[in-house]
Chains A and B, each alone.
Chain A
Amino acid sequence: DTGVSQDPRHKITKRGQNVTFRCDPISEHNRLYWYRQTLGQGPEFLTYFQNEAQLEKSRLLSDRFSAERPKGSFSTLEIQRTEQGDSAMYLCASSFERHTTLNTEAFFGQGTRLTVV
């Protein structure tokens, strides 16, 4: 098991372009989370999936953001018409939850650092 894998590690894009990030969770982890972390701040929750279903989205996730997790395996996060304010580290995490009321630790990937110029 290689842990949570994110690709790319770094992305520089011009304002207005679309970008897509990929996250491969730990095998058989049924929950997958996306967080965003700006410089000097803690990670902020964006959205999460239980298997292939996207069950919650933060207000931080504007209409330009879309996330998918086809077949409950890897996930993609797409940002359309990027803005300079989108520059941040995008972190993916996964966990295995056997019960809805149990919260085990989430394992994080190394993140994708996005710079919008």
Chain B
Amino acid sequence: AQKVTQAQTEISVVEKEDVTLDCVYETRDTTYYLFWYKQPPSGELVFLIRRNSFDEQNEISGRYSWNFQKSTSSFNFTITASQVVDSAVYFCALSEADTGFQKLVFGTGTRLLVSP
């Protein structure tokens, strides 16, 4: 069965600090996708990144970077030099070939609070 665990319920940092959000997943499938979404107070889930299970290269996009390690089933997300606008709930999610990639299984989210 698939499962996504985000052990950090809430993280508080001061602006300009770096912060890493952890994501650990479970799947028996060999083909799957991992995602990160951001949910600001407005409620809309904003897509940040998708990574397939065959691509373990780390990715950097501006202040965001992602570290995918299949050996530890982790897909961690780092924000460098955090800003107040980064305050939101961040969700990690998994989609599997077994289910035809028809649905996302989400973690419980990590609330990030960035104070000035």
Q: Closest CB of chain A to B112's CB: distance in Å?
A: 15
Decide if A111 touches B91 in the complex (CB within 8 Å): no
Which residue from A56, A102, A106 sits with its C-beta under 8 Å from B104?
A: A106
Q: Which residues of A contact B43 (CB under 8 A)?
A: 89, 110-111, 113
* Other A-B pairs, 11, CB within 8 Å; known A35-B104, A42-B106, A56-B99: A41-B109, A45-B104, A45-B105, A55-B102, A56-B103, A103-B101, A105-B35, A108-B44, A108-B46, A109-B44, A111-B44
Decide if B44 touches A110 in the complex (CB within 8 Å): yes
Query: How many A residues have CB within 8 A of the partner chain?
Result: 28
Q: Mark A78-117, 1 if CB is under 8 A from B, else 0.
A: 0000000000010101000000111111111111010000
Answer whether residue A43 sits at the interface, using C-beta atoms and an 8 A cutoff.
yes
Please classify how large the interface on chain B is, using the bins under 10, 10 to 19, 20 to 34, 35 or more. Answer: 20 to 34
Q: Mark B5-19, 1 if CB is under 8 A from A, else 0.
A: 000000000000000
Q: Mark B64-88, 1 if CB is under 8 A from A, else 0.
A: 0000000000000000000000000
Q: Closest CB of chain B to A63's CB: distance in Å?
A: 20
Q: Closest CB of chain A to B35's CB: distance in Å?
A: 7
Answer whether residue A28 sits at the interface, using C-beta atoms and an 8 A cutoff.
no
